[in-house]
Structure 1
Amino acid sequence: MLTATPRLEMTQLSRDYDGVRVVSDLSLTLSPGEVTCLLGPSGCGKSTTLRMAAGVEGPSAGTVNIDGERVADASFSLPPEQRSVGLMFQDFALFPHLDVARNVAFGLKGSRSEKAARVTELLDRVGLSNYGTKFPHQLSGGEQQRVALARALAPRPAIMLMDEPFSGLDNRLRDGIRDRTLDILREEGTAVLLVTHEPDEAMRMADKIALMRDGRIVQIGAPYTIYAKPVDQKAAAFFSDVNVVHGVVQDRQTETPFGLFLTPGLVDGADVEIVFRPQHCRLDFDRKDTPVHPTVEHGVPARGTVIRARFMGNQSLVELEMDHDGSLLKAVVPGVFMPPVGTPLVLSLRRDHAHVFPCATQSRVSNPWDTPKD
């Protein structure tokens, strides 16, 4: 069975600055019409990776291929204008001395009538049909963003590279403009590589998320997979608040105040973290005369005392000081739930949404072929 050639393929890509490696051994492929988000904190190498894909910078090692053709390696780098890539940045970079029509036409090849037809088509698609004679300073931020999109799409690039393009927009406009932008890009069959540090934006836009940390991709997959099956505690915490309960492995399981958790891949004595999100918790009032019993779904409840409760609009966030070790754990409750400070509650968690990881300071993973010693 034949497989389609990736639109963009980066293989074992690295980039050094003054002897410091900022992108390390990165491999990533994009297919036509696919939106891939490079997601991670500031300084993790996202924008550097995008610049290498664009041809603004060359790699120190590794290769970049576009539609199966080599465009960069450690010895050469094809310039951006020869790569069939569109570029969109957070400042839009429109030419202030050119009107909208001439901004969109900039870089187009062909006859005057062909250019005019393409400009008219794109301004209509981005909802700016009557804006051709306006100048950038006469436009709102959302309108400037749409002009920038039209200009980037005008040459029909195979790949669109976007570096935080929506970060300067008002929150009320952002969702609608993002959705319309993606619709147009998918209609064009353009492969999209989007850089963002906002998990919500990546979850909303991406077909595939590549989670970066310290210059490396630590996990890649569909948004649901990245969220629901994080590779480690830091990956889980990047998408939302998490609760962490510590334990020690004994007989391939770990005892916690919330019951036993199976830890078959770790040796006895290994330190582990049980990680779960506040929205996967359940709170009950502490009724000493009718205790809350363990269930298969929620395990064993543990007692704590309310230290803070806040209403967040459509849900409430309750923070507890736990009796067993004084740690602070959070629970999210739908609607309004504002128990007074000092109220005793019992907290339980969805065991099927809990994750067990070795502590970051050690990873004593056992060999399944080890034989027990006498």
Structure 2
Amino acid sequence: MPDPKTPAPQATGHEVTPRLEIRHLRRFFEGRAVVDDVSLRVLPGQVTCLLGPSGCGKSTTLRMIAGVEMQDEGEIYVDGRLICDTLHRVPPERREIGLMFQDFALFPHLSVGDNVAFGLRGAKDSKRQRAQSLLDRVALGQYIDDYPHQLSGGEQQRVALARALAPRPKIMLMDEPFSGLDNRLRDGIRDETLSLLKEEDTAVLLVTHEPEEAMRMADEIALMRDGKIVQQGAPYNVYTRPADKAAVAFFSDVNLLHAQVNGALAETPFGQFLAPGMPDGTNVEIVFRPQHVRIDFDRNGRGPEATTTEGVPARGVVQRARFLGNESLVEFRMDFDGSVLKATVPNVFLPAEGRAMWLTVPRNRCFVFPR
């Protein structure tokens, strides 16, 4: 077993050593793996989001990295140096890791400045100077001598951020830190937080169950399900090249078509879809998002011409249309099997209930998975 004082093998060439690296972490509760072989790397200044539904093991992973919970298997490295495996363990206070949670946990009996300086060592004047500098950067410098109860929720969140950054941690762990904020405040505070963390060159591991938050903040997303990371990559790649149907559905509503493969093709009412590498007879699901459905008007019982890229049009009847603010959601009862398909359209589009229309599905926006 490696000595915790011995650095891990360093990267060669121009590859940057990860600020945080976890390898094959496992944690069992009552014989069940709640974190199962999780590995990831976070570089200096990078924001990685652990994204997944409640109960998938995200927060447990964070607690093991912070040192407040021990893994059953696996290793944790900071700047290439082993800080924890199943034999050796650097205490939490010596890991140079900051923590932010949904509960701001500010001390009510301490001033804002004393809250920020709480984890600092040194002379009183130097600690106050550091607190003042950070509070100025989050636009709260004038409140240094006030108390937490005198601040709004958004202001308390920024104090919590300043306190977490005060000891200059190499790594920041954030567990749903913005979920308790009003929607009006959330975007602005998220952006301010991200900017400050980038300035400090801090490696950030953010836990969230909100895909929009992950897409907005992350340089890389690790999609987690049932204790495992099922897909990892840049937000664009995770969104546009999903690993499976559940990965598509986690980011948005989906429409499904069922089909069977014959000659590497799946035949549907919308025409054929390519299913390369799948044996004949394989049952597949063709998955596509509502925003990618194309809508055309009925012309005396006829729709648009079939094309290679759009496929064959299929007729549906409007069941319901709703305006959602930035877009309209239209639900269609399809003629071919009575199923309901959803389509979203930018701005206002509210066709009357019972109106017949034709739908097409662009091939480059569809995903074919074994059923």
Aligned amino acid, residue 133 of structure 2: E
Question: Is the CA contact (8 Å cut-off) linking 1:285 and 1:345 kept in structure 2?
Answer: yes
In 1: Cα distance, 2:143 partner to 2:29 partner = 43
Are 2:174 and 1:146 equivalent residues in the alignment? no
Tell me the equivalent position of 1:78.
90
Q: How does 1:5-84 map to 2 (within 5 A)?
A: 5-84=17-96
CA-to-partner distance for each residue in 1:200-225, whole Å, 9 max, x for gaps? 00000000000000000000000111
Aligned partner (choices 220, 224, 246) of residue 234 of structure 1: 246
User: Contact 2:331–2:343 at 8 Å: present in 1 too?
Assistant: yes
Pairing partner for 1:105 from 77, 99, 117? 117
Of residues 283, 286, 294 in structure 1, which corresponds to 2:295? 283
Aligned match of 2:340: 328
Quick check: 1:128 aligned with 2:174?
A: no
Matched, 1:3 2:15: yes
Give unpaired runs (5+ residues) of structure 1. Answer: 360-374
Alpha-carbon displacement from aligned partner over 1:270-307 (angstroms, at most 9, x marks no partner)? 00111111100111122236531112331111111111
- For residue 179 of structure 2, what is the aligned residue in structure 1? 167
Distance 1:57 1:159 in 2: 17
2:225 is the alignment partner of 1:213: yes
Give yes or no for contact 2:316–2:333 (8 Å, CA) kept in 1. Answer: yes
Q: 2:199 aligns with which of 163, 175, 187?
A: 187
Count, aligned residues? 359
Counterpart Cα distance in 2 of 1:290 and 1:249 = 28
1:183-210 Cα shifts (integer Å, max 9, x gaps) = 0000000000000000000000000000
Deviation track 1:21-74 (CA, whole Å, cap 9, x = no partner) reads 100000000000000000000000000001111111010101111111111112
- The Cα of 1:157 is off from its aligned counterpart by 0.1
Q: TM-score, normalised by structure 1?
A: 0.94
Contact 1:242 1:276 (8 Å CA) reproduced? yes
Matched residue type, 1:62: G
Verify the 8 A CA contact 1:58 1:76 in the aligned structure 2.
no
TM-score (ref. length: structure 2): 0.95
Displacement after TM superposition at 1:119 (Å): 0.9
Aligned to 1:256: 268
**Offset of residue 110 of structure 1:** 2.0
Separation in 2, partners of 1:148, 1:291: 58
CA contact (8 A) 1:12 1:62 kept: yes
Overall identity of the aligned pairs, in %: 64
Cα displacement (A) at 1:12: 0.5
Equivalent position amino acid for 2:366 in 1: A
Deviations 1:112-162 (A, max 9, x none): 232122111101001011111111111100000000000000000000000
> Which segment drifts farther, 334-343 or 229-238?
334-343
CA distance in 2, matches of 1:315, 1:5: 44
Q: Distance in 2 between matches of 1:21 and 1:291?
A: 52
Give, in whole Å, the separation in 2 of the partners of 1:110 and 1:76. 29
* Alignment match, 2:9: none
Aligned with 1:90 (options 77, 88, 102): 102
Indicate how the Cα distance of structure 1 residues 314 and 2 shifts in structure 2: closer, same or farther if over 3 A, else same: closer
Q: Distance in 1 between matches of 2:161 and 2:87?
A: 32
Tell me, in whole angstroms, the C-alpha distance in 2 between the residues paired with 1:66 and 1:259.
52
Asked if 1:202 corresponds to 2:245, the answer is no
Is the 2:76–2:82 Cα contact (8 Å) retained in structure 1?
yes
Residue 130 of structure 1: SS of its match in structure 2? helix
Pairwise CA distance, 1:265 = 1.2
Instruction: State the Cα distance separating 1:324 from its structure 2 match.
Output: 1.1
Residue 337 of structure 1 is matched in structure 2 by: 349
* Residues 143 and 289 (structure 1), Cα distance of their counterparts in 2 relative to 1, 3 Å cut: closer
User: Is the counterpart of residue 115 in structure 1 residue 95 in structure 2?
Assistant: no
RMSD: 1.0
Q: Is the 8 A contact 2:256 2:285 kept in 1?
A: yes
CA distance in 1, matches of 2:308, 2:31: 54
